[in-house]
A and B are shown apart, each in its own frame.
Chain A
Amino acid sequence: MATRVKFLCDADRCIECNACVTACKNEHEVPWGINRRRVVTLNDGKPGERSISMACMHCTDAPCAAVCPVDCFYTTADAVVLHSKERCIGCGYCFYACPFGAPQYPRVGNFGSRGKMDKCTYCAGGPEADASQAEYANYGANRLAEGKLPICAEMCSTKALLAGDGQIIAEIYRERVLKRGYGSGAWGWKTAYKETIAV
């Protein structure tokens, strides 16, 4: 079976340091106002607080691709959803369709005046030739073609964000849960939060 690359964020480990966000912006020279990745925190400052790093999840049946009127999206053989900025008309339909808020635009405006859509490329560039100047200018670095993984996952200090072959990272996560537990059953939870708080 062909490899399907995925992101997996371990909410037990994410400490909302935002290193993934910063590393992404730096690697791809993402312009001001666009965040390809962001950290979402629930119950901030309260017991049971949880953070998760979110970006394009490279859906199997991507809703952005389903609604795009100019058909600018395509899925690669390793299941990365990419798009062509040459074709994008900045209509904003993909933004409304995406359940993760991944598509971003360089300008605030109405239909067509927002500029070309920008989103996480799984560090796999775009439709231009691999590692070309044009590809870097439009989509950022193509780390996948260099034999590397997305910079956000490689930079993660607590190893919360996993990237790579879906089968392998699922296995890694399973091993972690078996060894350390998860939620309030995780190793060290009772030391940190006593027995009164459970998630």
Chain B
Amino acid sequence: MGTKVKGENRRTFLKTFGGAATIAAAAATAPLAVREAAAEENDSDKKKARYRETDHVKAFYRTNRY
């Protein structure tokens, strides 16, 4: 009987401690996750065209014609 009570206590402790640890871990990682998501551009920004026919690019075309 005494052993049973001891076992239950241990389970209760693990349940409480485990739950608290999970919440603490979630709280600790949440700001990181938000920061990582903010680091990437949104879908339209990352897919936008970056090529521009600048003077630099025109010089490349000109010098490659011969």
Interface positions of A (Cβ within 8 A of B): 2-3, 5, 74-78, 80, 82, 84, 86, 124, 127-130, 134, 142, 144-145, 147-149, 153-154, 159, 162-165, 168-169, 172, 175
How many pairs of A and B residues are in contact by the CB < 8 Å rule?
68
Of A76, A86, A142, A159, the residue contacting B36 (CB under 8 A) is A86
Closest chain B CB from A85 CB (angstroms): 10
Query: How many chain B residues have a CB neighbour from A under 8 Å?
Result: 21
The segment from B10-18, B24-32, B47-55 found at the interface with A is B47-55
- Expressed in whole angstroms, the Cα–Cα distance for A144 and B48 within the complex equals 12
Min CB distance, A139 to chain B, in Å? Answer: 11
What CA separation (Å) do A148 and B46 show in the bound complex? 18
A164 and B47 form a contact (CB under 8 A): no
Q: Which residues of A contact B65 (CB under 8 A)?
A: 172, 175
Residue contact A127 to B46, C-beta cutoff 8 Å: yes
Residue of A nearest to B54 (CB): A147
Residue among A129, A145, A147, A172 making CB contact with B61, cutoff 8 Å? A172
In angstroms, Cα B62 to Cα A159, docked, is: 11
- Interface hub of B41, B57, B64, B65 (most chain A Cβ within 10 A): B64
CB pair A134–B39 under 8 Å, yes or no, is: yes
Task: List the B side residues contacting A3 at CB < 8 Å.
Answer: 49, 51
B52 to chain A: which residues have CB within 8 Å? 147
**Contact assessment for B50 and A78 in the assembled complex, using a CB-CB cutoff below 8 Å:** yes
Q: Which chain A residues border B60 with CB–CB below 8 Å?
A: 149, 153-154, 163-164
Return the chain A residue nearest B40 by Cβ. A127
- Residues of the A chain whose Cβ atoms lie less than 8 Å from the Cβ of B61: 164, 168-169, 172
- 24 A-B residue pairs with CB within 8 Å: A3-B49, A5-B51, A74-B43, A74-B46, A76-B46, A76-B47, A77-B49, A78-B49, A86-B36, A86-B40, A129-B41, A130-B50, A142-B50, A147-B52, A147-B56, A147-B57, A154-B60, A162-B64, A164-B51, A164-B61, A169-B64, A172-B61, A172-B65, A175-B65
